[in-house]
């Protein structure tokens, strides 16, 4: 499994050469190494030969668009951090990018400083989830993957097998947006046919057991019309 290292190059896939150069300049000022390509076919060729440490991916590209590149990158690696750039502000485009597996998105025109900060935030999350951990913690909630035990404020929380798998998937990647289909793939690994809304039922039960208020969640946040994510606020 590919694990992100801060020394890995950031691949910038952007057909506008001025924008690509600006992004590279700001990243390199922060100590990152970068590699820039201006068309989708070249980006895929590079990624298939050697996965970069991070990909900043424009949607509108010649030859192969960003949607298809994102799909292929996710087939190559589930861990590779991807930040999508888009000139489109419609919610459906942002949802599509997240559903394809991007970790975040930035709408053009954007602040280069903000983009760099988003890159850093994604790297903090993905570095955490790449580490082999037997204990997953968030505040007073702990999940022990070796003992398959969940405790809240030191008290055991009895979960069903499905609830445990959902919580484990979410806690392993705090801040990551999971679609309902993503979560189903963690719970039903044999590909059983299940309606995606069954996830909502299990999440509801899980929240009750954790005392997590959906209106002001400490742990599990709802992404309306898409799915869920585990809070990365105050994660330790």
Q: Are 56 and 83 in contact (CB under 8 A)?
A: yes
Indicate the CATH number for domain 135-230.
1.10.10.10
Q: Domain boundaries in the chain?
A: 10-130, 135-230
What is the SS3 assignment for 37? strand
CA nearest to 29, candidates 56, 10, 54: 10
Beta strands at 178-179 and 10-13: parallel, antiparallel or unpaired: unpaired
Q: Taking residues 172-177, what's their average pLDDT?
A: 88
Dump pLDDT digits (tens) for 176-197: 899 988 888 878 755 444 566 7
- Token duo for residue 229: 């994510």
Q: How far apart are CA 74 and CA 225, in angstroms?
A: 22
Angle at 93 (CA atoms; ends 18, 114), nearest 5 degrees: 45
Strand segments (E) across 118-205: 135-138, 141-144, 149-152, 155-156, 178-179
User: How far is residue 178 from each of residues 15, 45, 70, 151, 234, measured CA to CA in Å?
Assistant: 29, 28, 15, 23, 20
The architecture CATH gives domain 10-130: 3-Layer(aba) Sandwich (3.40)
**pLDDT for residue 79:** 80
The DSSP element (H or E) to which 71 belongs, if any, is helix 66-76
Residue 193 CA, distance from chain mean position? 25
Dump pLDDT digits (tens) for 6-18: 457 899 999 999 9
Dump pLDDT digits (tens) for 26-85: 999 988 999 999 999 999 998 888 888 899 999 889 889 888 999 888 888 878 899 998
- Token duo for residue 90: 């419609």
Residue 234 burial (C-beta neighbours within 10 Å; 0-12, 13-18, 19+): exposed
pTM, full prediction: 0.53
Above 70 in pLDDT, residue 229?
Answer: yes
DSSP secondary structure letter of residue 215: T
CA nearest to 59, candidates 99, 91, 106: 106
Dump pLDDT digits (tens) for 137-153: 888 899 988 888 999 98
């Amino acid at each position: 499994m590919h694990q992100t290292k801060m020394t890995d190059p950031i691949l910038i896939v952007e057909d506008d050469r001025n924008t690509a150069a600006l992004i590279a300049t700001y990243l390199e000022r922060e100590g990152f190494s970068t590699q820039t390509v201006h068309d989708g076919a070249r980006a895929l060729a590079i990624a298939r030969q050697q996965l970069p440490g991070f990909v900043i991916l424009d949607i509108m590209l010649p030859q192969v668009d960003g949607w298809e590149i994102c799909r292929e990158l996710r087939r190559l690696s589930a861990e590779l951090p991807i930040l999508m750039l888009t000139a489109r502000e419609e919610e459906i485009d942002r949802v599509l990018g997240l559903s394809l597996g991007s970790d975040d998105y930035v709408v053009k025109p954007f602040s280069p400083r903000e983009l760099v900060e988003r890159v850093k935030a994604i790297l903090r999350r993905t570095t955490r989830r790449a580490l082999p951990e037997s204990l997953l913690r968030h505040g007073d909630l702990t999940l022990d993957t070796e003992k398959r035990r969940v405790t809240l404020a030191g008290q055991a929380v009895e979960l069903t097998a499905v609830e445990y798998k959902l919580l484990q998937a979410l806690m392993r990647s705090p801040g990551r947006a999971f679609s309902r289909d993503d979560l189903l793939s963690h719970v039903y690994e044999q590909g059983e046919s299940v309606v995606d809304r069954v996830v909502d039922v299990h999440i509801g039960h899980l929240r009750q057991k954790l005392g997590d208020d959906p209106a002001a969640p400490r742990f599990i946040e709802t992404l309306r019309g898409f799915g869920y994510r585990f809070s990365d606020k105050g994660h330790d």
